[in-house]
A and B are shown apart, each in its own frame.
Chain A
């Protein structure tokens, strides 16, 4: 099991999957989003090549009202 944190929630993956697959399986790709992995920004061009490992902390964000 690959134990990770996704947007602050603990979860376990059966296998090491790509960052792209992790986002795709948890969110609608119709919504625009950006990602940080372990506190570092990860550009869209790298989502497919990055493999999720145990203890990774992933933040997936989107546009939100703000002042």
Chain B
């Protein structure tokens, strides 16, 4: 999967939040096969462990986010601090408009993207499944766009297949990643079958009883669905088509 000029070995991006321990986090990275993880920035607390060192040990590409930002201004400054900290121009842009749904703000995301592009960032915007939102992001120069499947942390999967399908059909040459709402491996299969390039998830892994096992199942599921899509999926039909031939059927005229 291509993230601007970075080619990932896996189509899975993992969040780095809420793991029971750094060891479990590292195991999940290995089991999932990912080599890109998302990270945030927060106020430095005296004596706190340097999370950057833990992240660097994983040898993964770092994708900083602007999680929790409610204004373009906040998101831009957060991105600038993240760029210096993590030495990358990549930024997963989140400009939220609603605290309870964590719905991304179209107006705020557009404004922040314009400014960040001018400052040389490679923006990966977190958006809804609104086609206008997606095409606007593309027109601003985003090569990777991340629509939600459903609300962040909900685990509901894809609330609206047809809207996501429309985005895929409109943005053929854009890397499309479903960013939020994934709760099961079956959701991953649906996303890849829709033609999306990849997934970004966190909650489904860390809320599993065994995050490592879940991470492994993600990799297996991703491989299985990619193989089946490569093999070719049959066209869906409205009516029944018998798979057994009627030729030679007894009792027929």
User: Which A residues are closer than 8 A to B by beta carbons?
Assistant: 7-8, 26-28, 30-36, 39-41, 43-44, 59-67
Contacts and interface: CB of A to CB of B under 8 A. Distances in A.
A66 B15 contact: yes
Interface in B65-119: 65, 67, 73, 77, 80-82, 84-86
B39 interface: yes
Interface in B157-191: none
Interface of B: 15-19, 38-44, 46-48, 50-52, 55, 64-65, 67, 73, 77, 80-82, 84-86, 152, 201-203
Contacts, number: 97
Contact of A63 (B19, B55, B67, B73): B55
Contact of B46 (A26, A35, A61, A63): A26
Contacts of A64: 39-42, 51
Nearest to B51: A63
B73 A39 contact: yes
A66 B67 contact: yes
Contact of B85 (A26, A39, A63): A63
Nearest to A35: B81
18 contacts: A32-B52, A34-B84, A36-B77, A36-B81, A40-B77, A41-B81, A61-B43, A61-B44, A62-B48, A62-B51, A63-B40, A63-B50, A63-B51, A63-B52, A64-B41, A66-B16, A66-B17, A66-B64
